[in-house]
Structure formats: C-alpha cells, structure tokens
Structure 1
Amino acid sequence: MSNPRNTIEGAQMGTLLRLDSISPSLAGSFRQANDDQRRHAALATCLVAVARAELQGDEVDAAVNLLRHGVNAQPDVRHKLDSLTAQLDEQYFKLSEEADATTPEALFVFRKARAAAALAFALSPDSGQLHEAIYEAIVASDDQAEAMRAADAALRAR
C-alpha cells in the first residue's frame, strides 16, 4: 500500500481541487487517502460513470480492464480516450449551438464526454490526476450521489 503522505497530499493540501466544488467532504477524504485508495476510488467512480452515461467502445473496455488490473496505462489507450473525449465534446457543442440551448440529447453526449475524460485521467501515470478522474466521473453521472458514494467508500476503505 502506498504511503499516504505522497506528492499530491503535500502539493494540494492547501490547493482547492475541483472536487471541493462538488463535495468538500469528499475532497477531504481524497486528501487523506493514499494512492491505492485514490486509484480504487477513480475506478469505482469511472465504472458508475461509464454505466450511467452508456459509454461503450473498444477503448472504453481496454481502459476499464487496465484500471481493474492495476496495469500501467498504455499510451495508445489514453490517446484514443482523449480523441473520443474531443469528438464527444465537439458533438455536444454542435448540438447545443443548433438548439441554442442544452437539450437532453446534448446533455447525454456531454455526460459521455465526461466519462471518457474520467477514464483518461484515471489511466494517467501521474497520481495527481486521480482527483480529476473522480470529478469528471461524478459530473458524467446522472446520479451524482451514487458516484460520490462509490468514491467515498473507496477512499475510506483501509
């Protein structure tokens, strides 16, 4: 198990995380967790996000398998996820502009983009990106409370 006093805790203790905007208590749990707990929380929230956003594809399956098995990310998988995120973001903006509003269809595409981004952040070899994975996964879910519960349980597991 990793040492809880790692680089992100020291570097980000006084820095606000995007998680703070969703749940200060979850952000606090993240700061107190070790890297193993953070990686488990990223996986748990990504699984919720992928399921709730109905995100599918070979790159999604590959990412989930890598995260489940704790294997270091393969750069081609992250690149494919980054490309997918960009495509989905572009589709979201186009749908929103065409309707001059955020339609349910556009919101669904937005959630898919956030789920893809969450997976890419979770695969980062930099554990400092794990809070971004959790944040994006929570935003991707149409049931943010479920995603936050999954993250919190993983962050508190010893």
Structure 2
Amino acid sequence: MTQPGLTQVSPALVDKLRQSTDDQRHQLVERVCVLAVRCADVADPTLTEALNAIRSRSFGIQDLRSRLDALTGELDEIAWGIQDRVDAGDASADEYRRAFVKARAVAAIAFALDGSLAASFDSLYEAYHAIDSRDDFLRAVAD
C-alpha cells in the first residue's frame, strides 16, 4: 500500500514522516504500533519479541518478519471465515471487526520491523485500521 493509503488517512502525516529524522519516525511508528496492539487486544509471544526488536531498533530480522507474516495470514483467515458467517447471518459484524483489527495490528508490527520510510507508511496505514478511533490515531501521531 505504502504512501497512497496513508495519504488518504492523513496527508499531513505523510509530510511529517518525510521531514522527520529516522529516530523521530521510529519513535512515532513504535508508539502507534503499541497503541494498535492494545486497541486490537491481540497478544502473542512473537508480537512481544517484535515490539522489543522495534524498541531496540533491531530492524530487518527476516525470521521474525516471516513469523509475523504467517500470524497475519492466520488472523486474516479467521477474519474472512467470520465474514462468511456474518454474510450467512451466523456471526455479528462486531465479531468480524474484532478479528480484522487483530490482523491489522500484527501487520503493522511486521511492517515496522523493516525500519524504512516506505515500511513506515505501510505500518501506520495498518495501525490506523487496527485502532478503532480516527481521533485516537491522529492524537498518537501528533504527540
């Protein structure tokens, strides 16, 4: 997705990321990813490991990224299964939303592990969808 998706959310944020130092950008992405995980109420030892890597600026750990991508895929499959049940009238839209935001939070962490500007755009776009409140997202990126 990179920049175009995030531009739809907040053009000012895209500009802010472009003008920030690497350290400022990493701090912002870390802060928003932590919020996304908390809002999505998702927990997994791989997430803890990844958040620790992001905090220590240990980017590019391919094995960890692969595990997060696999977890995202599993959570997406669960969400799609729930969506099928919603379509059939056997599940609620809230159930789907809860599953969807978990996958988006994990995807945000996976992108953040790259550490690049382009990956930051992707990470924040995914995090935006994991955080239920646009206002909460915009407050987090404004700090």
Is TM (by shorter chain) over 0.5? yes
d(CA) in 2 for partners of 1:99, 1:72: 38
d(CA) in 2 for partners of 1:105, 1:16: 29
The answer to whether the 8 A contact 2:75-2:103 is kept is yes
> For the structure 1 residues 50 and 38, does the alpha-carbon distance in structure 2 shift closer, same or farther, using more than 3 Å as the test?
same
Matches within 5 A, 1:114-133: 114-133=104-123
Which secondary structure state, in structure 2, belongs to the residue aligned with residue 72 of structure 1?
Answer: coil
Matches within 5 A, 1:35-50: 35-50=22-37
Percent same amino acid among aligned pairs? 34
Tell me which residue corresponds to 1:5.
none
Count of residues in Structure 1 that have an aligned counterpart in Structure 2? 139
Q: Which runs of 5+ in 2 are unaligned?
A: none
The answer to whether the 8 A contact 2:17-2:25 is kept is yes
Matches within 5 A, 1:1-158: 16-100=3-87, 103-153=93-143
Single out whichever of 93-102 and 108-117 deviates more from structure 2: 93-102
Tell me which residue corresponds to 1:156.
none
What's the C-alpha RMSD, in Å, of the aligned pairs? 1.8
CA offset at residue 97 of structure 1?
A: 1.2
d(CA) in 2 for partners of 1:29, 1:152: 9
TM-score (norm 2): 0.88
